[in-house]
């Protein structure tokens, strides 16, 4: 199972939210580049970097942080948050992102995401399918929709999506366990998709549970920052 550490950015700082609530921000570092370097030094290959300012502003904001991380580490960075235009995408890739995640745009401007898929392929464009009560949520989770999660994913797999990051919002930042049953349903519906679980991981047992369920990748953030899981414990999953 692939472990992907996460860094969420607000105002250039490494933070975490609880259930996507911008009023529940906790700052963990004022130097996200150093946090990224720590992950790289421990042997991690991937990083999930989220521009929370961008998600709220509806355009890329913290690309300088992305640039610093990719220029000082060898991490493969998937970048998301506020990517809404061709210009946003260009800036993200020019700043060193290897992959980008499209969430809100997949709902609000699907034709743009499909155009990106055709141009860059499913190896570089990840679908962000964030949900609450099996319904898609967008705009930094500040807006709910009536779109059902699994049909939404299936539609984009038919368009060429290979990677899906799915966050169960009610669990995000709560450290009370991931939505394992939900992820099992997604894998059963779309077995060929590379599912990246996100949200709720609070212990090594949670990761082991996801691994046993056959989930190929998991994003871990707050559990690391709060000391619930040590990087040494995660090293068993690093090849």
CA angle 15, 81, 36 (to 5 degrees): 45
| Alpha-carbon separation of residue 76 from 7, 45, 46 (angstroms) | 13, 6, 5
Name every residue whose Cβ is closer than 8 Å to that of residue 204 and which is 6 or more positions away in sequence: 229, 233, 234
Q: Taking phi first (over 0 means left), then psi (-120 to 50 degrees means alpha), and beta for anything else, what does residue 224 get?
A: alpha
Name every residue whose Cβ is closer than 8 Å to that of residue 4 and which is 6 or more positions away in sequence: 44, 46, 47, 48, 78, 196, 217, 218, 219, 220
Active-site residue, 51 included: no
The length of the chain is 239
Active-site residue, 8 included: yes
In the beta sheet, which residues pair with residue 5?
220
Q: Which of 51, 53, 88, 130 is catalytic?
A: 130
Q: Which of 8, 51, 53, 172 is catalytic?
A: 8
Where in the sequence numbering do the catalytic residues fall? Answer: 8, 130
């Amino acid at each position: 199972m692939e472990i992907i550490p996460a860094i969420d950015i607000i105002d250039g700082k490494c933070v975490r939210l609880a259930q996507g609530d911008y009023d529940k921000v906790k700052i963990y570092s004022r130097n996200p580049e150093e946090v990224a370097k720590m992950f790289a030094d421990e042997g991690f290959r991937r990083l999930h970097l989220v521009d929370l300012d961008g998600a709220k502003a509806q355009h890329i904001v913290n690309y300088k942080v992305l640039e610093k991380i990719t220029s000082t580490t060898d991490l493969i960075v998937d970048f998301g948050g506020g990517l809404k235009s061709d210009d946003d995408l260009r800036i993200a890739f020019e700043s060193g992102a290897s992959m980008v995640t499209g969430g809100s745009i997949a709902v609000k401007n699907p034709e743009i995401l499909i155009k990106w898929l055709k141009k860059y392929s499913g190896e570089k464009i990840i679908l962000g399918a964030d949900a609450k009560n099996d319904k898609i949520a967008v705009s930094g989770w500040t807006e709910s929709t009536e779109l059902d999660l699994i049909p939404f994913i299936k539609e984009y797999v038919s368009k060429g999506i290979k990677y899906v990051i799915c966050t169960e919002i009610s669990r995000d930042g709560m450290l009370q366990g991931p939505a394992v049953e939900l992820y099992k349903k997604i894998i059963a519906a779309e077995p060929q998709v590379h599912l990246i679980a996100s949200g709720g991981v609070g212990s090594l047992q949670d990761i082991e549970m996801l691994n046993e369920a056959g989930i190929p990748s998991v994003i871990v953030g707050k559990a690391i920052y709060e000391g619930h899981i040590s990087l040494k414990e995660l090293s068993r999953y690093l090849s």
